[in-house]
Structure 1
Amino acid sequence: MISPDRQQRIAALRDSIADIERKPALAEARVLVQDEMQGFPLPGGGLLQEIFSDERRHAGAVLGFALAQARSLLNPRRPAIVYLQLANDAQELGLPYGPGLVSFGFDPDALVLVRAANMAELLWAAEEAVACKAVAAVVADIAGHHRQLDFTASRRLSLRAAGAGCSIFLLRYGTGREASAAHLRWRLTPQASARKRYDAMAPGPPRWRAQLEKGILLKQQTEWLLGWTENGFTTTDAGRRHAYRFATGATLPRAVPAQLGHRLPETG
């Protein structure tokens, strides 16, 4: 834990840098909790956030986490969210699905899809979208690692986001981490689903673990076990083990009758 004296020195240094650059302070002034839903703080606007998942097959969970935050930033003055993706990546990761967004509580009409030919065009589009006063957030879904997306590029995006009050979410994949100027960096990991209310043997609502690898949020907490409802995030004690975890951890050699499979792990 950072001592209060060190926090004050860091805050003073950030204020000095912001004054030199004639930019708003990028630290505590922007990393404020806008809302708190069942224990999970929703950061306010004007932030550059990186959201990592170890595998690309978890792209849906990463996108859902970003859109859940972006949805809270929508208002009558900023009614749009821009989704950026490289044209080639769409063949592998796919595109947001309208009916799925509706079930997620997100209006598809608020989402503007942009498919860029290369990373240079994607970064240019991100900066232009942030500058638009009708845009509440920009979500950039980036499947691979690109030389153009270096620390300098992330610094430009963080400054643009802070100055315009529009958040940027960079969706990334893999275990590697590059130097960046992101205010917050998350790692998402799928977890066993919650129990279904009227059918204990059926998969229930999806859940995932959100670990804050970089940045400071409410009460210095860095890990949450999140679920999703039509009203937003729900949280559970991240340290609690799943009540129905298979004790031996061994895989079953063949299909088993339903009654034998009762109370085995339910995955989302």
Structure 2
Amino acid sequence: MHSSGQQSRLAALRAVIADIERKPALLERRAGFEPEADGGFPALGGGLVQEVFTDAARNGGASLAFALGQGQALLTARRPALLYLQLIGDEQFFGLPYGPGLWGFGFDPARLVMVRAQDMAELLWATEEALACTAAAAIVTDIGGAPGPLDFTASRRLGLRAVESGTSLFLLRYGRARAPSAAHLRWHLSPRASGSGAFDRRAPGAWRWQVRLERGARIKHRGEWLLEWTENGFATLPVRSGQPQRRRDGAALSGAVPAALADRLSQTA
């Protein structure tokens, strides 16, 4: 016959187990990634932590666009905002999201909330707290290189918070180093030459990225996609095409000539 002390401990243990079972399972989120049947880039749901690596900081704009492209698809009436977190002072090195550029990307700048933090510890704290905000569809945090405070334990805490809240987190990182992380997905991103312009085939067109899945928990598929941005989101292009080359028409110019300001507009307009 159990003593009253043993019965109390058993009751407390059952309560702990019941509380764990009520929380969303981390592995269920990790197992939900599969490529589209036609090989296209998949539409990823919320509650994932995604590391987006690019080799050089100058590609930060491409990484941000990749994160915003996914985050925009997660916006709903109940989750109408995206949060962008950055260290104070980094705007002079990495730059800031540009409102008219966001409009051109099909993203309403009014939906983007910007947060500045004093140091990396404060930035990670703000990221974890932001993940609990049920009005946010996604959080984008500009991390930079390999900061000490973002260790495996810290990334594990972020992953658990993301799964529990259903809010996605994109960690923008730069360089070739890969520290241990509990992120659900890790991408390597490279910007590619844009497609042709709609009215001038020699002018820049839609944005393009090449992304490779470096790591994903419990994911057998290691995919690589060449993506192009359209008004309906990401379109997948054949990877074998490599870096798209812009079409060149006509003979080489004999010298410097003034460029037209825009299609069908006078240079003196």
TM-score, normalised via structure 2 length:
0.78
Are 1:145 and 2:137 counterparts? no
Q: How does 1:117-132 map to 2 (within 5 A)?
A: 117-132=118-133
State the 1:71 CA deviation: 0.7
Matched residue, 1:222: 223
Shift of 1:221: 5.1
Q: 1:206 to 1:19 in 2, by over 3 A?
A: farther
Could you say which residue in structure 2 is the equivalent of 1:260? Answer: 252
Distance 1:20 1:152, change over 3 A: farther
The structure-2 alpha-carbon separation of the partners of 1:129 and 1:42, relative to structure 1 and needing over 3 Å to count, comes to same
1:215-245 CA distance string (max 9 Å, x none): 1799935100011122211111112245648
Give yes or no for contact 2:214–2:222 (8 Å, CA) kept in 1: no
Aligned ranges 1:70-81 → 2 under 5 Å: 70-81=71-82
Match of 1:134 in 2: 135
Equivalent AA in structure 1 for residue 58 of structure 2: R
1:40 paired with 2:41, answer yes
* 5+ long unaligned stretches in structure 2: 1-16, 254-269
* 2:14 aligned residue: none
Distance verdict in 2 for CA 1:30–1:244, change over 3 Å: closer
| Structure with more of its chain in strand, by fraction | 1
CA distance in 2, matches of 1:232, 1:169: 17
* Correspondence 1:225-244 to 2 at 5 A: 225-242=226-243, 244=245
Percent identical pairs in the alignment equals 55
Other-structure match for 1:250? none
Structure 1 segments unaligned to the other structure (5+ residues): 1-17, 247-256, 262-268
Deviation at 1:80, TM superposition (A): 1.2
Alignment deviations for residues 127-147 of structure 1 (CA, whole Å, 9 cap, x no partner): 111111111111001123211
Aligned partners of 1:38 and 1:234 also within 8 Å = no
CA RMSD of aligned residues (A): 2.9
- Confirm or deny: 8 A CA contact 2:128 2:161 kept in the other structure: yes
Highest Rg: 1 or 2?
Answer: 2
Per-residue deviation, residues 25-83 of structure 1 (Å, max 9, x unmatched): 22344553699699211210001110011011111110000001111111111111111
31-40 vs 227-236, which deviates more?
Answer: 31-40
CA distance in 2, matches of 1:146, 1:28: 29
SS across alignment from 2:163:
helix
The corresponding residue for 2:24 is 24
8 Å contact kept, 1:192–1:207:
yes
1:56 corresponding residue in structure 2: 57
Aligned counterpart, 1:173 = 174
Greater CA drift, 118-127 or 186-195: 186-195
C-alpha separation in 2, matches of 1:196 and 1:38: 26
Using the alignment, how far apart are the partners of 2:41 and 2:111 within structure 1? 24
Q: 1:147 to 1:180 in 2, by over 3 A?
A: same
Residues 1:161 and 1:226: Cα distance change in structure 2 (over 3 Å): same
Distance across 1 between alignment mates of 2:80 and 2:224: 30
